[in-house]
């Protein structure tokens, strides 16, 4: 990008470093999003832009045999799963030079904060809606109350147990409505927490059974008013995202600066058995 020789103001391109701005937005996105807690994000460094394809290799299954004096050696083979970075969202805003000069706040920084939050909401909403159809277990419509919400949670845990899904790292994502309902229950039983302390501590969502309980108001709600809550293990979902472009451009028809950014991402359920979806109302 060519820099204007006379552009030396606080919003000019010579005072703007795209790489630093991009990383700031990425950090703010992840500080607020639940996605890194419910998915595998190991492949993010391999993204180059929209249309990228990340090939995920699965751990090979090793056969266990009976020993009767001799052995046969298995050749390891691994399946390949393609994670397509086929989704992209962007932001673009303008900061007027006169308004910036007269303002007692940094408009670009404030706008960047808003862009990060808006991007988090948009991407998280899309991801949570798209993974539910590929869950290994999809429940029927259920009416859940504070009297039976614990039984419903334990039912999801049992589904994962029957699939031999690891206990460490399990998550449960509930909407604010069901988190509030959960807080109204009696949660002091040792079999739920592993200790004699209630899992609802300091007003924050804690652990129930072996689940880390997370709250999100971006869970999908269908036309019938059912909220699609999900539970599982992070290995179920592969998610990769990156701010691939961040630019500052001087406006041609006015004295101002345009800042725009592009976020590319992809999501895929690669271990369906490790994901449970329920439709609660």
The 10s digit of each residue's pLDDT in 111-138 is 877 888 888 899 999 999 999 999 999 9
- pLDDT exceeds cutoff 60 at 192: no
- pLDDT exceeds cutoff 70 at 179: yes
- pLDDT exceeds cutoff 90 at 225: yes
> Cα–Cα distance between 12 and 7 in angstroms, integer?
6
Mean pLDDT score of the chain, rounded to an integer? 81
Average confidence (pLDDT) over 171-183: 92
Residue 230 lies in a domain: yes
Residue labelled with tokens 């589904």: 159
- DSSP letters of 204-254? B--EETTEEEEE-TTS-B-TTS-EEEEEE-GGGEEEEEEEEEEEEEE-SSS
Q: How many domains does the chain have?
A: 1
pLDDT tens figures, 200-224 = 543 347 888 899 999 999 999 999 9
| Residue 47 Cα distances to 54, 55, 85, 86, 260, angstroms | 7, 11, 8, 11, 19
CA angle 193, 216, 118 (to 5 degrees): 150
User: Of the ranges 9-13, 97-101, 163-167, which one carries the lowest mean pLDDT score?
Assistant: 9-13
Residue labelled with tokens 């005072």: 15
CA angle 38, 27, 3 (to 5 degrees): 140
Say what the pLDDT of residue 89 is: 93
> Cα–Cα distance between 17 and 180 in angstroms, integer?
43
To the nearest whole percent, how much of the chain has pLDDT over 90?
43
- pLDDT exceeds cutoff 50 at 191: no
Residue 198 lies in a domain: yes
Query: Domain range spanning residue 103?
Result: 1-40+86-281
Top-confidence range, 31-35, 161-165, 183-187 = 161-165
Give the closest residue to 62 by CA, choosing from 74, 51, 80. 74
Give strand pairing partners of 243.
263
152, 144 contact by CB (below 8 A):
yes
Average confidence (pLDDT) over 233-257: 85
Average confidence (pLDDT) over 27-33: 74
Give strand pairing partners of 56.
81
Band (pLDDT 50/70/90 cuts) for residue 1 is very low
Residue 69 lies in a domain: no
Band (pLDDT 50/70/90 cuts) for residue 46 is low
Say what the pLDDT of residue 201 is: 45
Helical segments of the chain, H only:
18-32, 35-38, 97-102, 107-131, 149-162, 176-183, 190-193
58 contacts: CB under 8 Å, gap ≥ 6? 78, 79, 80, 81, 270
- pLDDT exceeds cutoff 80 at 4: no
Residue 223 lies in a domain: yes
Residue 178 lies in a domain: yes
The number of angstroms, rounded, from the C-alpha of 156 to the middle of its chain's C-alpha atoms is 20
Residue 67 lies in a domain: no
Model confidence, pTM: 0.77
120, 264 contact by CB (below 8 A):
no
Residue 79 lies in a domain: no
Buried b (16+ CB within 10 A) or exposed e, 25-47: bbebbeeebbbeebbbbebeeeb
| Residue 64 Cα distances to 44, 58, 121, 271, 274, angstroms | 34, 18, 46, 22, 23
More confident residue, 260 or 173: 173
Q: Which CATH number belongs to the domain containing residue 136 in this structure?
A: 3.90.1690
Residue 137 lies in a domain: yes
Band (pLDDT 50/70/90 cuts) for residue 21 is low
- pLDDT exceeds cutoff 70 at 5: no
């Amino acid at each position: 990008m060519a820099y204007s020789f006379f552009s030396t103001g606080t919003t000019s391109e010579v005072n703007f470093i795209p790489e630093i701005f991009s990383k700031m937005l990425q950090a703010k996105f992840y500080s607020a999003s639940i996605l890194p807690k419910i998915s595998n994000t190991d492949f993010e460094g391999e993204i180059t832009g929209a249309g990228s394809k990340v090939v995920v290799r699965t751990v090979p299954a090793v056969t266990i045999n009976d020993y009767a004096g001799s052995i046969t050696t298995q050749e390891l083979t691994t399946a390949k799963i393609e994670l397509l970075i086929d989704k992209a969202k962007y932001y673009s805003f303008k900061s007027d030079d006169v308004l910036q000069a007269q303002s007692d706040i940094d408009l670009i920084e404030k706008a960047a904060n808003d862009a990060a939050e808006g991007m988090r909401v948009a991407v998280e909403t899309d991801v949570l809606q798209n993974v539910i159809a590929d869950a290994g277990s999809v429940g029927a419509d259920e009416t859940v109350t504070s009297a039976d919400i614990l039984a419903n949670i334990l039912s999801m845990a049992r589904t994962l147990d029957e699939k031999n899904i690891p206990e460490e790292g399990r998550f449960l994502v509930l909407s604010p409505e069901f988190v509030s309902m959960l807080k109204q229950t009696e949660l002091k039983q040792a079999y739920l927490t592993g200790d004699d302390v209630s899992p609802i501590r300091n007003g924050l969502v804690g652990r129930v059974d072996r689940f880390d309980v997370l709250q999100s108001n971006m869970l999908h709600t269908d036309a019938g008013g059912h909220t699609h809550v999900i539970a599982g293990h992070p290995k179920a979902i592969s998610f990769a995202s990156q701010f691939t472009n961040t630019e500052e451009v001087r406006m041609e028809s006015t004295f101002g600066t345009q800042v725009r950014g592009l976020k590319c991402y992809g999501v895929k359920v690669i271990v369906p058995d490790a994901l449970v979806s329920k439709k609660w109302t």
